[in-house]
Amino acid sequence: MIDRRHFVKGISAACVASSGLALLRNANAAEFSYRIAHSAPATHPLHLRLTEASERIKVDTKGRFDLQVFPADQLGSQSDVLGQVRSGAVDFFMLSGVVLSTFVPNSAISGLGFAFKDYDTVWKAMDGGLGAFIRGEIAKSRSIFAFEKIWDNGFRQITTATRPVNGPVDLQGVKIRVPPSAMWTSLFKALGASPTTINANELYSSLQTKIVDAQENPLAVLSTFKLYEVQKFCSLTNHMWDGFWLLGNRAAFDALPKDVQAVLTKHLNAGAMAEREDLVKLNTSLREDLTKKGLQFATPKPSEFQDKLRAAGFYKEWQGKFPAAGWAQLEAAVGAL
């Protein structure tokens, strides 16, 4: 059986004579052609940096490796593509650790509600012991692994169609869209809301048709998905930091020569670091831009939400679900929860 990943170099003289045109078309084909999928729009820094990394990989491998980038859930929903990367139908996939927790439960620990106060704390954890812990948990699956540097998706904010969220009381009974994850559902139930799981590619229409009245996402997503067209208020809760693990199918990656693996790892990790800077710069300008587009901002106090979560037993519940080693790494970066 011919491996689909490899360009066939050996070809008979008879085939050359009968299909010279086909041979000419394939003369410059990559030896390895892999696919990477993600849910962000094509205008998002994540897609732009992945595309840049793809181009640099092709140059440094002298055309041997072609990484095709598919944005905006083009290859299917997050749940579907996670299954595809596990089976090897898709080679690489960008996915939130909290969404990944449907397969690797302990990966959700980095998305604990109101755990991180700022980016310094985030990168202390994710480039340090907590990130290493999560990558180890992902690797236990054997079918997939995570690259060393996680990509930034930003701190998440709550938007609503009817009223701003100035405190937990304003979330009581609110139908809010959340990604497919027990962590997100647990967080908003503890805060008194009614969370509903909807995939990213259906987010805009679900808000437009009033299936849900609220959602939560980083500002960059509000802008790129044009959610300001179907939401009126944005509360800067910073309730959860979210990042994208760059996941790879283990067998597909191991099939590559070591020098190609090194080039991929170099440029994909470098892309993550550049994308982090992009998000910081973008967020500084987005609030002004979104205000001009009609979004009204509120700045609630995080402490009120934390008190509500503690009273609801949220932190105690999740401490009991995560391994002690992982919880210790989290608190080493963020302090006692």
In a structure prediction context, what are the per-residue pLDDT tens digits for the chain, which is 337 residues long? 444 444 333 434 333 333 443 333 344 689 999 999 999 989 999 999 999 999 999 999 999 999 999 999 999 999 999 999 999 999 999 999 988 998 999 999 999 999 999 999 999 999 999 999 999 999 999 999 999 999 999 999 999 999 999 999 999 999 999 988 888 899 999 999 999 999 888 999 999 999 999 999 999 889 988 999 999 999 999 999 999 999 999 999 999 999 999 999 999 999 999 999 999 999 889 999 999 999 999 999 999 999 999 999 999 999 999 999 999 999 999 999 9
DSSP 3-state percent helix, strand, coil across the chain (nearest 5): 50, 20, 30
Query: Structure pTM?
Result: 0.85
7: in domain: no
Tokens linked to 180: 């497919």
245: in domain: yes
69 membership: H or E segment, kind and range: strand 65-70
Is 331 strand, coil or helix? Answer: helix
pLDDT at 5: 44
* Burial state string for 239-269 with b = 16 or more CB within 10 A and e = fewer than 16: bbbbbbbbbbbbebbebbeeebeebbbebbb
pLDDT at 224: 83
Distance CA 99, CA 39 (A): 12
Distance CA 129, CA 325 (A): 10
2: in domain: no
Q: Are strands 214-217 and 151-160 parallel, antiparallel or unpaired?
A: antiparallel
Distance CA 99, CA 199 (A): 10
Distance CA 6, CA 298 (A): 54
**Structural domain containing residue 212:** 13-334
169: in domain: yes
pLDDT at 180: 82
3: in domain: no
Which own/partner contact pairs does 26-31 have at CB distance under 8 Å and 24+ positions apart?
A: 28/63, 30/58, 30/63, 30/64, 30/65, 30/66, 31/6, 31/7, 31/64, 31/65
DSSP class of residue 246? E
Tokens linked to 89: 């139908």
| Residue-by-residue DSSP string for 193-244 | -EEEE--GGGHHHHHHTTS-SEEEE-HHHHHHTTGGGT--EEEEEEEEEEEE
121: in domain: yes
233: in domain: yes
Domain count, the chain: 1
Cα distances from 246 to residues 12, 105, 216, in angstroms, run: 40, 17, 22
Q: Which domain CATH number covers 184?
A: 3.40.190.170
1: in domain: no
Cβ atoms within 10 Å, residue 141: 14
pLDDT at 179: 85
pLDDT at 53: 98
pLDDT at 90: 98
Distance CA 276, CA 246 (A): 14
Burial of residue 280 (number of CB atoms within 10 Å: 0-12, 13-18, 19+): exposed
Helix axes 119-126, 129-139, angle to 10 degrees: 50
